[in-house]
């Protein structure tokens, strides 16, 4: 098949034809798809997240996935629909991940507040978050890696297990152990404050 090399020729192709060109190795076709979709996908993500940086990260992840998985993509509908769904799913995963992280942070704060209310009045949320990050960095390497992937990315337990070549049960256990360890450490933190 004729390889399109000029942007003007690529402009004339529909989205699916561009994807096909990219799947055949034409990186200019990917650049054209990026130009066509970046703005609308960003707006879709931004409308929900209301954070520029988060919306940019989501769109970047969608295009990174398109780049790395292009050969295996088989569309059942339009490429636009595929990209919109991929963006929406990543946004929802990010929201769930942030809610989970905030829930754990809130849970730790509640746990600590039950131990010594007087000391907590001196601890700001910023100090608490900084301490939490230090304690996360102090976790054993594999536990920290699993915990951070589960809390700071949009990956599911299954995706983390696949990426790290672990069982889903191991991933769940590492996350549970990390939370237990962090609760214990944060309780001591409030005691010494």
- Domains observed in the chain: 7-91 (1.10.1740.10), 114-192 (1.10.10.10)
pLDDT at 62: 93
Of the CA atoms within 13 Å of residue 45, those in its CB half-sphere come to 29
The DSSP result for 7-65, as a single string, is: HHHHHTS-HHHHHHHHHTT-HHHHHHHHHHHHHHHHHHHHHHH--HHHHHHHHHHHHHH
Provide the token pair at 146.
């699993």
Q: What is the mean pLDDT of the chain?
A: 78
Contacts by 121-130, CB closer than 8 A, 24 or more apart:
122/193, 123/190, 123/193, 128/186, 129/105
pLDDT at 64: 92
pLDDT at 133: 79
Provide the token pair at 103.
């829930």
Best CA proximity match to 160, nearest among 107, 99, 93, 113:
93
pTM, two decimal places? 0.50
pLDDT at 184: 72
For residue range 71-117, list pLDDT tens digits in order.
888 888 888 888 988 998 888 888 777 766 666 566 555 555 554 44
| 186: pLDDT strictly greater than 80 | no
Best CA proximity match to 37, nearest among 94, 86, 89:
86
Low-confidence winner among 38-47, 59-68, 95-104, 131-140 (lowest mean pLDDT): 95-104
Distance from the Cα of residue 6 to its chain's centroid: 34
Question: 3-state DSSP: the chain helix, strand, coil percent, rounded to 5?
Answer: 80, 0, 20
| 189: pLDDT strictly greater than 60 | no
């Amino acid at each position: 098949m004729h390889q399109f090399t000029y942007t003007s020729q690529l402009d004339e192709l529909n989205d699916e034809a561009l994807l096909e060109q990219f799947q055949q190795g034409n990186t200019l076709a990917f650049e054209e798809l990026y130009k066509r979709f970046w703005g609308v996908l960003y707006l879709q993500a931004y409308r929900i997240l209301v954070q520029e940086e988060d919306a940019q990260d989501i769109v970047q992840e969608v295009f990174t996935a398109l780049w790395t998985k292009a050969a295996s993509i088989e569309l059942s509908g339009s490429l636009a629909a595929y990209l919109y769904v991929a963006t929406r799913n990543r946004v929802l995963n990010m929201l769930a991940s942030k809610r989970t992280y905030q829930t754990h942070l809130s849970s730790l704060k509640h746990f600590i507040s039950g131990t010594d209310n007087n000391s907590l009045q001196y601890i700001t949320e910023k100090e608490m978050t900084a301490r939490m990050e230090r304690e996360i960095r102090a976790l054993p390497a594999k536990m920290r890696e699993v915990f951070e992937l589960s809390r700071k990315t949009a990956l599911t337990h299954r995706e983390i297990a696949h990426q790290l070549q672990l069982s889903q049960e191991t991933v769940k256990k590492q996350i549970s152990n990390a939370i237990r360890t962090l609760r214990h450490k944060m309780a001591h933190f409030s005691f010494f404050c």
